[in-house]
Chain A
Amino acid sequence: EPEVTQTPSHQVTQMGQEVILRCVPISNHLYFYWYRQILGQKVEFLVSFYNNEISEKSEIFDDQFSVERPDGSNFTLKIRSTKLEDSAMYFCASSPGTAGWDEQFFGPGTRLTVL
């Protein structure tokens, strides 16, 4: 069964460093998302992406964050200069459409630890 994959499973970085989190969505899906979950808090929407551009982004998704689909299969989230408060589990998701009721398929997550 097709699934969303994410690498790495755990990333440790120093504050101020750049990190790139990678995701491979399901191949025929058109819509891509990043969510994050800070330990003990809710899963929060970060950004949605369609047709090679951002559809929507949350207040969290400031200029330090960027997304890219560089090669038609990978979908990446870059954090330019990490802060301690960026430590969280980051989930990638994809869906075949964005018809509200379309299921979003989630990857297993990347745990980012900023020291």
Chain B
Amino acid sequence: AQSVTQLGSHVSVSEGALVLLRCNYSSSVPPYLFWYVQYPNQGLQLLLKYTSAATLVKGINGFEAEFKKSETSFHLTKPSAHMSDAAEYFCAVSPRPGGTSYGKLTFGQGTILTVHP
């Protein structure tokens, strides 16, 4: 079975500082990987996804993530945090074709990002 672990339920950074949100997955075959963001009172919005093209994936709002197979990681980064980045971030995986539960997302527990002025 696949699983996702996000290290750190809360991350706090200063405006302009680097944002690093960690995600590790467990899967016998590298899955598809996603980062979603949830702003207060809104649904989950896709930031970016890895589907086996380039290992460095660029998403919306200046975020990017790097897939590292050797480390089973897909950490999310942004060089310079903005106040508007304050939200909850979820890492998720979906199996590749031929696997069970095709299309079903398995989520990490979420990381709340706080940005200080």
Interface, chain A (partner B; CB < 8 A): 3-4, 31, 33, 35, 41-45, 48, 55-56, 91, 93, 95, 98-109
Known contacts A41-B109, A100-B102, A108-B42, then 5 further A-B pairs from the complex at CB < 8 Å, ordered by chain A residue: A91-B43, A93-B44, A104-B105, A108-B41, A108-B43
Give the docked Cα–Cα distance between A32 and B95 (Å).
Answer: 17
Number of A-B residue pairs having CB atoms within 8 Å of each other in the complex = 64
Q: Could you tell me if B43 and A42 are in contact, using CB atoms closer than 8 angstroms?
A: no
Known contacts A101-B51, A103-B46, A103-B49; A45/B106 CB under 8 A: yes
Chain B interface residue bracket vs A: 20 to 34
In the complex, which residues of chain B have a beta carbon less than 8 angstroms from the beta carbon of A44?
107
In the complex, which residues of chain B have a beta carbon less than 8 angstroms from the beta carbon of A93?
44
Q: Could you tell me if A98 and B102 are in contact, using CB atoms closer than 8 angstroms?
A: yes
